[in-house]
C-alpha cells in the first residue's frame, strides 16, 4: 500500500457502471491498493437512495448507462444535494467535446478512459481524494472561523449593551427600555444616581477595590424586593439609572423608593477586611408621553441635589435655575471686556468715635443681557469656571487705583485702608503673592493700605501653600484678614502661625447677638482671643443699636453694616468718610 493510499484507505468510494465486469475490475484494483470501503452498483436508479442515505467521498460514474445516463444521474444528485454532491470521476470509453463540457458544468472532477490504465486510475483517484480532503478541511476551517466570528460578534453585541465592570445594562439599553415602556403606555420614574466617594476609595485601596465595590453595590440594588425596579443600568461609571414602572403606584411612593435606594447604597459595605462607605444623591423625573427617553434622563440629571444623601424631583424651577446658571457662566466671559463690573464700598466704622477707618471693596455686575446679577449668584459661577482668577485681579487693580486716587486728592487720611476679597482659587495660584506684591509696589502705595480678606475654607484647600503666600504678603507689609471667622475650620493652631492682622466676625454671630446669650458669649470670646493675638476685630452685618452697644462693650474695633451704611458708590462713600458718624446718636453719649 502506498503512503497516499494509507491516507485515504477508509474513503467511501462508490463505483457505478452498468457493466459488472468494469465494477469488479475497479473494486479489485482499489482493494489491492488498500482501500477498504468500496461499493459497486450497476443500476443507476438505485444510486440516489444510497447517496442520500450514506454520502460517499467519491463516485466513479459510467457516463453511458441504460435507463439513466451518468449525466442525468449527476443532474439529479446536484438538484437534491446541491453543494453537498460528492466528488465525481467519469468512466467512459470515449467522450465528445459537448459531453465533456456538460460533465464539467455539472461539477465532474476528472475523467477515466476505458480500458483503464491501473496506475493512472489510482493516481487520478488519489488526486481527487486529496483535493476533496483539502476542500473539506478548508470548508471546515471556514466554518470554524465563521462560528468564531459569529460567537465573537455575539459577544461584542452583548458587551456593547453592558457596562464593562458591573455587566449592568448601559445607556443604550436604558433608553430602549424607556422607549418600550412609553410604547406600552406605561408610566415610569427615572432615578438618576450619582455615586460619591469612589475617588477616595481608589486613592486609598486601588481601582480593583472600586470595581468590586461597584459590582457588590449593583448586586445589592438588584436584590431589593421592596420597590418595583424595572431596570438598573449604568449611565456612565459613577452615574447609574434606576427605572421604576409606576402605572399602579402613587407618586408619593417615589420618596420611599428614593430613600430605599439611598439606604442601600450608603450602608457600610464590607469587602474582605475592608469596611467601605460610598455616598449618593438622586435626581428623579417622571416620564411623560411627549418626552423622549433622553429628555426623561436629562430631567432626572437636572434634578440632582448638590449635597450627598439627598434626593430631589425635577421641577421647572430647577430647569430655569440651571438655564440661568448657564447664562450667567457664559456672560461672565465677556463681563470684564464689556466693562460690566464696578465696585461699591462699604465703610468700616470705628466703634469708639464713629470715624470711617476704611472700606471693603465689593464687586457688582450689571449685565446688559441679564440685568443686575447678585454676587451670591455670579461669584460661585466664576469660581466654578475659573473666571474668578481674572475677575479677582481686576478687582485688586481697581481697588488700588481707587485708593491711590483718594490719597492723591487727600480725600482720605494716611491710615485709610481698602479691603478686597481673595477667592481660594486665587490664593492657590503659586505666583499670586508675587504678582500682588509687584502690583502694589508699582502703584507707589504703602502696602498697609491694602487689606486681603481670605476665608477659612479657602485656606484649607492647601494650608502649606496658603501659609507661604500669606507670609510673603505680610512680610511685604500687606494686611491679612480672616473673613467670616468662626464659621469654617477655626483653629488656634492656625491663628498662631498665620500672619493675620484682622479677624472679621461673621454676621451669623451678630444677627441675634442682642437677644441670644450664646451668640454674645461666642462673639465676646472671639474678640478676647483676637485681643490676645493682637488682631484687630471687625464685626459684619451690624444693623441694630443694641448690637453696636454690645460690640463696643466687648472691645470690638470696627463694624460694618446697614446700621451705618450699605455698600456705596465711590463719590457717596467719600462724602460719608469725610464726615463720619461721630455726630449721630450712636456716638453722642
Residue 252 pLDDT exceeds 50 = no
Question: Over the chain, what is the mean pLDDT?
Answer: 89
pLDDT at residue 488, as a whole number: 56
**How many percent of the chain have pLDDT more than 70?**
96
pLDDT at residue 116, as a whole number: 81
Domain contains 66: yes
Residue 574 pLDDT exceeds 90 = yes
Task: Specify the pTM.
Answer: 0.66
Those residues whose C-beta lies under 8 Å from the C-beta of residue 179, and which sit 6 or more positions away, are 293
Residue 541 pLDDT exceeds 90 = yes
pLDDT at residue 545, as a whole number: 92
Which among 140, 162, 180 is the end of a domain?
140
The residues with which 360 forms a beta bridge, in sequence order, are 346, 419
Whether the CB-CB separation of 171 and 294 falls below 8 Å is answered with: no
CATH of the domain at 565: 3.20.20.450
What DSSP element (H or E) covers 466?
Answer: helix 463-475
Confidence of residue 503 (pLDDT cuts 50, 70, 90): very high
Which among 314, 349, 374 is the end of a domain?
314
CA angle 228, 194, 177 (to 5 degrees): 45
Residue 117 pLDDT exceeds 90 = no
The residues with which 130 forms a beta bridge, in sequence order, are none
Regarding whether 275 and 126 lie in a shared domain, the answer is no
**Can you tell me the distance from the alpha carbon of 432 to that of 389, in angstroms, rounded to the nearest whole number?**
10
Whether the CB-CB separation of 263 and 223 falls below 8 Å is answered with: no
CATH of the domain at 19: 3.40.50.2300
- Number of Cβ within 10 Å of residue 105's Cβ equals 11
Domain contains 522: yes
The pairing of strands 311-313 and 279-286 is parallel
Domain contains 285: yes
Whether the CB-CB separation of 556 and 323 falls below 8 Å is answered with: no
Cell numbers standing for residue 322 = 440651571
Domain contains 35: yes
Residue 1 pLDDT exceeds 70 = no
Report the domain count for the chain: 3
Domain contains 589: no
Residue 394 pLDDT exceeds 90 = yes
Q: What is the phi/psi pair of residue 464, to 5°? A: -65, -45
pLDDT in tens, 344-372: 999 999 999 999 999 999 999 999 989 99
Regarding whether 46 and 179 lie in a shared domain, the answer is no
Domain contains 455: yes
Cell numbers standing for residue 474 = 505680610
Domain contains 151: no
Mean pLDDT of 237-253: 76
Mean pLDDT of 292-306: 94
**Can you tell me the distance from the alpha carbon of 349 to that of 584, in angstroms, rounded to the nearest whole number?**
12
pLDDT in tens, 188-243: 899 999 999 999 999 999 999 999 999 999 999 999 888 888 999 999 889 999 99
Residue 251 pLDDT exceeds 60 = no
Residue 440 pLDDT exceeds 90 = yes
Q: What is the phi/psi pair of residue 304, to 5°? A: -55, 125
Domain contains 584: no
Residue 5 pLDDT exceeds 50 = yes
Regarding whether 414 and 506 lie in a shared domain, the answer is yes
Residue 341 pLDDT exceeds 80 = yes
Regarding whether 309 and 394 lie in a shared domain, the answer is no
Three-state secondary-structure class, residue 34? coil
pLDDT in tens, 119-155: 888 888 888 888 888 887 887 888 888 888 888 877 7
The residues with which 481 forms a beta bridge, in sequence order, are 453, 502
pLDDT in tens, 410-425: 999 999 999 999 998 9
Regarding whether 530 and 381 lie in a shared domain, the answer is yes
Those residues whose C-beta lies under 8 Å from the C-beta of residue 128, and which sit 6 or more positions away, are 58, 87, 89, 109, 110
> Which domain, by its residues, includes 70?
3-140
Regarding whether 246 and 298 lie in a shared domain, the answer is yes
pLDDT at residue 123, as a whole number: 87
Q: What is the phi/psi pair of residue 137, to 5°? A: -60, -40
CATH of the domain at 211: 3.30.70.270
pLDDT at residue 377, as a whole number: 92
Residue 461 pLDDT exceeds 80 = no
**Can you tell me the distance from the alpha carbon of 353 to that of 330, in angstroms, rounded to the nearest whole number?**
46
Q: Which of 2-11, 340-349, 534-543 has the lowest mean pLDDT?
A: 2-11
pLDDT in tens, 443-455: 999 999 999 999 8
Those residues whose C-beta lies under 8 Å from the C-beta of residue 388, and which sit 6 or more positions away, are 379, 382, 423, 425, 426
Residue 246 pLDDT exceeds 90 = no
Those residues whose C-beta lies under 8 Å from the C-beta of residue 24, and which sit 6 or more positions away, are 40
Amino acid at each position: 500500500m502506498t503512503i497516499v493510499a494509507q491516507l485515504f484507505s477508509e474513503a467511501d468510494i462508490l463505483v457505478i457502471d452498468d457493466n459488472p465486469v468494469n465494477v469488479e475490475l475497479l473494486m479489485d484494483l482499489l482493494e489491492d491498493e488498500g482501500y477498504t470501503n468500496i461499493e459497486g452498483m450497476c443500476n443507476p436508479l438505485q444510486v440516489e437512495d444510497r447517496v442520500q442515505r450514506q454520502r460517499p467521498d467519491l463516485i466513479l460514474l459510467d457516463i453511458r448507462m441504460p435507463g439513466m445516463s451518468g449525466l442525468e444521474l449527476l443532474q439529479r444528485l446536484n438538484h437534491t444535494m446541491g453543494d453537498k454532491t460528492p466528488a465525481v470521476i467519469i468512466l467512459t470509453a470515449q467522450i465528445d467535446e459537448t459531453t465533456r463540457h456538460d460533465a464539467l458544468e455539472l461539477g465532474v472532477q476528472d475523467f477515466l478512459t476505458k480500458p483503464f490504465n491501473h496506475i493512472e486510475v489510482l493516481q487520478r483517484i488519489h488526486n481527487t481524494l486529496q483535493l476533496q480532503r483539502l476542500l473539506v478541511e478548508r470548508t471546515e476551517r471556514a466554518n470554524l472561523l465563521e462560528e468564531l466570528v459569529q460567537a465573537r460578534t455575539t459577544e461584542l453585541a452583548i458587551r456593547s449593551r453592558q457596562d464593562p465592570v458591573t455587566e449592568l445594562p448601559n445607556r443604550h439599553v436604558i433608553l430602549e427600555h424607556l422607549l418600550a415602556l412609553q410604547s406600552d403606555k406605561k408610566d415610569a420614574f427615572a432615578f438618576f444616581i450619582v455615586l460619591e466617594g469612589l475617588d477616595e476609595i481608589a486613592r486609598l485601596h486601588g481601582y480593583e477595590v472600586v470595581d468590586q465595590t461597584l459590582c457588590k453595590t449593583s448586586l445589592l440594588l438588584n436584590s431589593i424586593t421592596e420597590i418595583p425596579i424595572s431596570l438598573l443600568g449604568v449611565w456612565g461609571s459613577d452615574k447609574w439609572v434606576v427605572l421604576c414602572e409606576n402605572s399602579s403606584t402613587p407618586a408619593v411612593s417615589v420618596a420611599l423608593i428614593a430613600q430605599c435606594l439611598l439606604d442601600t447604597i450608603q450602608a457600610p459595605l464590607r469587602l474582605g477586611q475592608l469596611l467601605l462607605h460610598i455616598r449618593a444623591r438622586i435626581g428623579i423625573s417622571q416620564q411623560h408621553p411627549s418626552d423622549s427617553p433622553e429628555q426623561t434622563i436629562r430631567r432626572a440629571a437636572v434634578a440632582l441635589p448638590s449635597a450627598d444623601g439627598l434626593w430631589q424631583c425635577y421641577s421647572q424651577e430647577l430647569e430655569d435655575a440651571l438655564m440661568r446658571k448657564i447664562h450667567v457662566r457664559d456672560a461672565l466671559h465677556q463681563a470684564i471686556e464689556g466693562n460690566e463690573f464696578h465696585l461699591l464700598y462699604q465703610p468700616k466704622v470705628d466703634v469708639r468715635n464713629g470715624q470711617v477707618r476704611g472700606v471693603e471693596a465689593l464687586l457688582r455686575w450689571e449685565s446688559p443681557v441679564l440685568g443686575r446679577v447678585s454676587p451670591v449668584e455670579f461669584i460661585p459661577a466664576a469660581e466654578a469656571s475659573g473666571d474668578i482668577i481674572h475677575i479677582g485681579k481686576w478687582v485688586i487693580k481697581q481697588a488700588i487705583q481707587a485708593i491711590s486716587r483718594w490719597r492723591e486728592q487727600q480725600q482720605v487720611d494716611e491710615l485709610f485702608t481698602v479691603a478686597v476679597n481673595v477667592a481660594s482659587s486665587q490664593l492657590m495660584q503659586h505666583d499670586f503673592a508675587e504678582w500682588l506684591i509687584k502690583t502694589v509696589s508699582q502703584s507707589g502705595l504703602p502696602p498697609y493700605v491694602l487689606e486681603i480678606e481670605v476665608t477659612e475654607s479657602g485656606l484649607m484647600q492647601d494650608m502649606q501653600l496658603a501659609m507661604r503666600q500669606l507670609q510673603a504678603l505680610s512680610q511685604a507689609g500687606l494686611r491679612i484678614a480672616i473673613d467670616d471667622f468662626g464659621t469654617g475650620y477655626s483653629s488656634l493652631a492656625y491663628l498662631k502661625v498665620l500672619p493675620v492682622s484682622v479677624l472679621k466676625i461673621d454676621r451669623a454671630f451678630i444677627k441675634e447677638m442682642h437677644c441670644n446669650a450664646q451668640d454674645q458669649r461666642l462673639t465676646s470670646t472671639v474678640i478676647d482671643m483676637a485681643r490676645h493675638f493682637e488682631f484687630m476685630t471687625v464685626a459684619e452685618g451690624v444693623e441694630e443699636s443694641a448690637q453696636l452697644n454690645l460690640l463696643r462693650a466687648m472691645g470690638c474695633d470696627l463694624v460694618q453694616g446697614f446700621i451705618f451704611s450699605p455698600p456705596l458708590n465711590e463719590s457717596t462713600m467719600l462724602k460719608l468718610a469725610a464726615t463720619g458718624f461721630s455726630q449721630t446718636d450712636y456716638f453722642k453719649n
